[in-house]
Amino acid sequence: MDIQTYLQRIGFQGPAGPDYETLRGIHRSHMLTVPFENLDIIPLHRPVKLDERSLWDKIILRRRGGFCYELNGMFAWLLKQIGFDVTHLDARVFNREGEPGIDFDHLTLLVSTPGSSGRWLADVGFGDSFMEPLNFEDRGDQAQGLRAYKLEPSSGGYVLWQRNYDKSLKREYIFDLQPRSFPSDYEAACLYHQTSPQSHFTRNSMISLAKPDGRVSLEEQEWIVTKNGVKSRHPVVNAQEYNKLLKEHFGVVL
């Protein structure tokens, strides 16, 4: 890996070493520059590949985004090259009925500094979620801007909670601490999310990117802007407007 090329891609400036300040800085920079998107699935109908060469070509050279396996797979590779200890974890995302998804539904990361007792949950591949790593040892609310997050032990591992702008609580996903192998352990679930009608990634195209004061998202027929906790929605009337928004706000040309 060319670490400097990766850091330039995400707009991170300054020294990069295996310490918390670096982890916090590159995590936030990644969220602000690399979109969460499923455009290879819809509308391009291209297979998502998880090998290092394919991820590097797509995210770094072609300046695209991806979903969890791609974004956190690349981010874990960067962290390891810098000198962090990284564990790939199996997370299951809760649906609207409060039921967790399939095994390896989501890839999240446990990160630590060699020789340190501190551990952090890092995740740049869950879309609208925490901007900076969460302290894994902290069981209280961890505020980030107008929202907060909490890690709660449960019978199946640990549950990530998000306190939303309206103060409501939402369970995001549940994960355990058993080390997993990437990409081999995640390939079947990655194929499922590309092909199954039960996966929300096969139902509608989407691309989304964090902003310092919120987030912008583009779906097939809707432009969504969240600013300081207030969300507005605007219809996208035709393909020309869609492509213009895609290029202007995400730097993506299909």
Residue 236 lies in a domain: no
Backbone angles phi, psi at 240, to 5 degrees: -65, -45
Asked whether 47 and 194 are in contact (CB, 8 A), the reply is yes
Q: Name the band, by pLDDT with cuts 50, 70 and 90, for residue 162.
A: very high
Residue 122 lies in a domain: yes
Q: State residue 117's pLDDT score.
A: 74
Residue 127 lies in a domain: yes
Domain count, the chain: 1
Residue 208 lies in a domain: no
Backbone angles phi, psi at 97, to 5 degrees: -90, 0
Asked whether 138 and 151 are in contact (CB, 8 A), the reply is yes
Strand partners, 194: none
Those residues whose C-beta lies under 8 Å from the C-beta of residue 206, and which sit 6 or more positions away, are 36, 37, 38, 217, 218, 219, 220
Q: Residue 71 is encoded by which pair of tokens?
A: 């974004």
Q: State residue 229's pLDDT score.
A: 93
Residue 250 lies in a domain: no
Q: State residue 115's pLDDT score.
A: 76
Asked whether 128 and 165 are in contact (CB, 8 A), the reply is no
Residue 223 lies in a domain: no
CATH number at residue 25: 3.30.2140.20
- Region 80-89 average pLDDT: 97
Task: Name the E strands within the chain.
Answer: 36-37, 85-93, 106-112, 119-122, 134-135, 142-144, 147-154, 157-163, 169-175, 206-211, 214-219, 222-227, 230-235
Residue 70 lies in a domain: yes
Chain Cα centroid distance, residue 40:
16
Q: What is the pLDDT of residues 48-68, one digit of tens each?
A: 999 999 999 999 999 999 999
Q: What is the pLDDT of residues 202-230, one digit of tens each?
A: 999 999 999 999 999 999 899 999 999 99
Could you list the residue range(s) of the whole structural domain that residue 53 is in?
3-201
Strand partners, 94: 100
164 pLDDT more than 80? yes
Q: What is the pLDDT of residues 127-157, one digit of tens each?
A: 999 999 999 999 999 999 999 999 999 998 9
Residue 50 lies in a domain: yes
